[in-house]
């Protein structure tokens, strides 16, 4: 390629063009090398992701066995009511708690890294929202959170995998309630606008600091003490796999609003 640029320079008859030819050659070469390195990097990331997923599965199985045996051992220790056995039981409970936390992290990772085989069907999102509301209301009430919904009179039809979409929205609902540790209100607002279904999840919590707002969808970023940092990235991935978008708006002391958009079914537009 360099010879080609040099030949162009000679034909055009000037050293400036020869220099430009050399510069252009190097520029193209650097860009091509950068793209090649990037492609290799993407392949390595995919391979690492597959290896990590396999490793997580390998860890999860023996960890389940460990949890079962810890539970059985705790039941045995509870049969003895003396200071020594009570002390052993307290230590065992601490180990159980950490093992359960590790199990939760692994399950969150597998949900995030696993391949989602979508099984879409055309559904009315009003029904899906109603099911989620019925399911989640007891948990919201226990946290002193008033759960409200607002839906249109007309059907909001989308071609989605209902189970995966429920998982994605439920993550947002759980995060909202956990953020309102002093109670509050959670509004689920559904609408249709310009060929899109729009779902807003609005809470009256403390809001998200500006320095954290741009990082909420980053893997392993969490402001919660024992958070895995995989809930929101998993939600984002599910929404994107449905051809939708998710955005977050928040101000300190004014609450947070997650906005999910999904393509409407063609017949509903």
- Domain ranges in the chain are 1-115, 121-268
Cα of 167 vs its chain's centroid, Å: 10
Q: How far lies 75's CA from each of 49, 66, 86, 88, in Å?
A: 39, 14, 12, 12
Rounded Cα gap, residues 68 and 62, in angstroms? 10
Rounded Cα gap, residues 239 and 181, in angstroms? 27
The CATH code that applies to domain 121-268 is 3.30.565.10
Tens-binned pLDDT, residue by residue, of the chain (269 aa): 444 444 334 444 444 434 444 444 344 444 445 545 555 445 554 555 556 666 666 676 777 788 788 888 888 888 888 888 888 888 888 888 877 777 777 776 766 666 667 889 999 999 999 999 999 999 999 999 999 999 999 999 999 999 989 989 999 999 999 999 899 999 999 999 989 999 999 999 999 988 888 888 887 777 766 666 778 888 998 999 999 999 999 988 889 999 999 999 875 55
Using the Cα atoms of residue 95, residue 98, residue 104 and residue 110 in order, give the sign of their dihedral.
negative
Which tokens sit at 8?
Answer: 């162009």
In b/e form, how buried is each residue of 216-252, taking b as 16+ CB within 10 angstroms?
beeeeebeeeebbbbbbbbbbbbbeebebebebebee
- Residue 180 near residue 203 (C-beta atoms within 8 A): yes
pTM over 0.85, yes/no: no
């Amino acid at each position: 390629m360099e010879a080609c640029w040099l030949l162009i320079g000679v034909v055009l008859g000037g050293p400036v063009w020869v220099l430009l030819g050399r510069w252009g050659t190097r520029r193209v070469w650097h860009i091509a090398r950068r793209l090649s390195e990037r492609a290799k990097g993407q392949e390595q990331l995919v391979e690492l992701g597959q290896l990590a997923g396999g490793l997580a599965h390998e860890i999860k199985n023996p960890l389940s066995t460990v949890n079962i045996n810890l539970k059985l051992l705790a039941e045995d220790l509870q049969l003895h009511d003396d200071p020594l056995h009570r002390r052993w039981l307290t230590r065992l409970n601490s180990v159980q708690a950490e093992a359960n936390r590790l199990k939760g992290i692994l399950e969150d990772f597998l949900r995030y890294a696993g391949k989602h085989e979508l099984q879409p069907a055309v559904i009315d999102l009003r029904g899906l929202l109603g099911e989620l509301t019925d399911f989640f209301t007891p948990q919201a009430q226990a946290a002193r959170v008033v759960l409200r919904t607002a839906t249109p009179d007309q059907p909001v039809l989308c071609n989605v995998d209902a189970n995966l979409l429920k998982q994605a929205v439920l993550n947002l609902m759980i995060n909202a309630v956990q953020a309102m540790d002093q109670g509050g209100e959670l509004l689920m607002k559904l609408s249709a606008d310009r060929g899109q279904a729009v779902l807003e999840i609005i809470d009256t919590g403390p809001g998200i600091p500006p320095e954290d707002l741009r990082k909420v969808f980053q893997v392993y970023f969490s402001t919660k003490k024992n958070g895995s940092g995989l809930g929101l990235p998993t939600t984002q991935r599910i929404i994107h796999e449905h051809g939708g978008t998710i955005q977050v708006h928040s101000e300190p002391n004014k609450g947070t609003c997650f906005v999910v958009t999904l393509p409407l079914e063609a017949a509903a537009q």
